[in-house]
Copies of this chain bind each other. A is one copy, B any other.
Amino acid sequence: MKRRTLPLAQVYRLLEPGPVVLLATSRKGSANVMAMSWHTMLEFEPPLVGCVVSNRNWSFEILKATRECVIAIPTAELAQKVVACGNASGRRVDKFDTFGLTPAPAARVAAPLVDECYANLECRVVDGRMVAKYNFFVLEVVKAWIRPGVAQPRTLHHRGCGVFMVAGRTLKLPSRMK
Contact = CB atoms under 8 A, between A and B. Distances in A.
Contact of A160 (B16, B52, B159, B173): B16
A130 interface: yes
Contacts of A38: 16, 40-42
B171 A168 contact: no
A50 B158 CA distance: 18
Interface residues on A, range: 35 or more
Nearest to A88: B176
A137 to B, nearest CB: 12
A39 interface: yes
20 contacts: A16-B37, A16-B38, A16-B159, A18-B37, A35-B177, A39-B40, A42-B52, A42-B134, A83-B173, A87-B177, A127-B133, A130-B130, A154-B168, A159-B170, A161-B178, A163-B171, A164-B171, A165-B168, A165-B171, A167-B168
Interface of A: 10, 12-13, 16-19, 35, 37-43, 48, 50-52, 76, 79-80, 83, 86-87, 127, 130, 133-134, 136, 138, 152, 154-178
Which 10 A-B pairs have CB atoms at the shortest separation, nearest pair first? Answer: A18-B18, A168-B168, A162-B175, A17-B157, A13-B160, A40-B40, A164-B171, A86-B177, A83-B173, A162-B173
